[in-house]
Structure 1
Amino acid sequence: MAKGRGARRGRATTTAAVLAGAVTAALAAGCTSGGDPADDGRAASRGPSRGTAQTTASVLAVKIDNAPAARPHTGLEAADVVYVEPVEGGLSRLMAVYATQFPAAVGPVRSARESDLELLAQFWRPTLAFSGAQGKLKPLLKDAPLRAASPDQERDGYFREPGRAAPHNLYVRPHRLMPSAPGADALTTGFRYGAAPAGGRAEHTHTVRYPAARFTFTWSDSRDGWLVAMDGRASAPQPAPATVVVQYVTVRESAFRDFLGNNSPYTETVGSGRATVLRDGRAHDVAWKRPSATQGTSFTQADGAPVNFARGQVWVVFAQAPGKG
Structure 2
Amino acid sequence: MRGVLKKSTIALLILLMIIGISGCRADKNLSQEENQGAEVVVIEDPQEDKDKEMNEETQKLEGFEINPLTGLYIDEEVAKRRPVAIMINNLKKAIPQSGISQADVIYETLAEGNITRLLAVFQDFDAEKIGPVRSARHYYIDLAFNHDAIYIHYGGSPQAYAAASDWRSDNLNGLSYLDEIMCWRDPVRKKQKGMYEHSVYTNAEKIMKAWDVVKYRKEAKGEAQGMFVFSEEERQMEGKKAEKVALPFTSKITTNFEYDPGSGLYKRIQFNQPHIDEMNNQQLMTKNIIVQYTEIKHIAGDKAGRRDVKTIGEGKGMYITNGTAVPISWSKANHQAPTIYKDENGNHLEMNKGKTWIIIFPSNRQIKLQ
Q: By the TM > 0.5 criterion, same fold?
A: yes
Once the 2 structures are TM-superposed, how far is the Cα of residue 140 of structure 1 from its aligned partner?
A: 3.3
1:234-271 Cα distance to aligned partner (Å, 9 max, x none) = 132211111011110111233673xxx23211111121
1:215-230 alignment, distance < 5 Å: 215-230=255-270
Matched residue SS, 1:89: coil
- Give distance in 1, aligned partners of 2:101 and 2:69: 16
- Give distance in 2, aligned partners of 1:270 and 1:160: 35
Q: Which residue of 2 aligns with 1:116?
A: 140
Q: Which residue of 2 aligns with 1:265?
A: 307
1:171 paired with 2:201, answer yes
Once the 2 structures are TM-superposed, how far is the Cα of residue 187 of structure 1 from its aligned partner?
A: 5.5
The answer to whether the 8 Å contact 1:65/1:94 transfers is yes
Higher helix share: 2
1:249 paired with 2:294, answer yes
- Give distance in 2, aligned partners of 1:312 and 1:143: 34
The answer to whether the 8 Å contact 2:288/2:354 transfers is yes
1:175-194 alignment, distance < 5 Å: 175-178=205-208, 188=225, 190-194=227-231
In structure 2, which of residues 158, 164, 168 is the aligned counterpart of residue 141 of structure 1?
A: 164
The 10-residue stretch of structure 1 (300-309 or 207-216) with the greater mean CA deviation from structure 2 = 300-309
The 10-residue stretch of structure 1 (298-307 or 204-213) with the greater mean CA deviation from structure 2 = 298-307
Once the 2 structures are TM-superposed, how far is the Cα of residue 197 of structure 1 from its aligned partner?
A: 6.2
In structure 2, which of residues 239, 247, 250 is the aligned counterpart of residue 200 of structure 1?
A: 239
1:284 paired with 2:326, answer yes
Q: Which residue of 1 aligns with 2:183?
A: 158
Matched residue SS, 1:95: strand
1:127 paired with 2:164, answer no
The answer to whether the 8 Å contact 1:99/1:186 transfers is no
Q: Which residue of 1 aligns with 2:49?
A: none
- Give distance in 2, aligned partners of 1:40 and 1:59: 15
Matched residue SS, 1:273: strand
The answer to which structure, 1 or 2, has the higher relative contact order (CA under 8 A, 6+ apart) is: 1
1:306 paired with 2:348, answer yes
Question: Residues 146 and 174 of structure 1: is their aligned pair in 2 closer, same or farther, counting only changes over 3 Å?
Answer: farther
1:60 paired with 2:90, answer no
Question: Residues 197 and 225 of structure 1: is their aligned pair in 2 closer, same or farther, counting only changes over 3 Å?
Answer: closer
- Give distance in 1, aligned partners of 2:203 and 2:69: 24
Number of equivalent positions: 275
- Give distance in 2, aligned partners of 1:143 and 1:322: 30
Matched residue SS, 2:198: coil
1:46-125 alignment, distance < 5 Å: 57-124=81-148
Normalised to the residue count of structure 1, the TM-score between the two structures is 0.75
> RMSD of aligned C-alpha atoms?
3.0
- Give distance in 2, aligned partners of 1:315 and 1:208: 12
The answer to whether the 8 Å contact 1:225/1:280 transfers is yes
Normalised to the residue count of structure 2, the TM-score between the two structures is 0.67
- Give distance in 2, aligned partners of 1:136 and 1:40: 36
Question: Residues 184 and 103 of structure 1: is their aligned pair in 2 closer, same or farther, counting only changes over 3 Å?
Answer: farther
The answer to whether the 8 Å contact 1:122/1:189 transfers is no
- Give distance in 2, aligned partners of 1:158 and 1:35: 27
Question: Residues 311 and 63 of structure 1: is their aligned pair in 2 closer, same or farther, counting only changes over 3 Å?
Answer: same
- Give distance in 2, aligned partners of 1:158 and 1:137: 20
1:102-121 Cα distance to aligned partner (Å, 9 max, x none) = 32221011110121232233
Q: Which amino acid aligns with 2:229?
A: R
Larger Rg: 2
Once the 2 structures are TM-superposed, how far is the Cα of residue 224 of structure 1 from its aligned partner?
A: 2.3
Q: Which amino acid aligns with 1:175?
A: E
In structure 2, which of residues 257, 275, 287 is the aligned counterpart of residue 235 of structure 1?
A: 275
Gaps of 5+ in 2: 1-64, 74-78, 190-194, 212-217, 277-281, 366-370
Question: Residues 135 and 112 of structure 1: is their aligned pair in 2 closer, same or farther, counting only changes over 3 Å?
Answer: same
- Give distance in 2, aligned partners of 1:40 and 1:67: 31
In structure 2, which of residues 299, 302, 317 is the aligned counterpart of residue 275 of structure 1?
A: 317
- Give distance in 2, aligned partners of 1:38 and 1:120: 16
Matched residue SS, 1:117: helix
Q: Which amino acid aligns with 2:248?
A: R
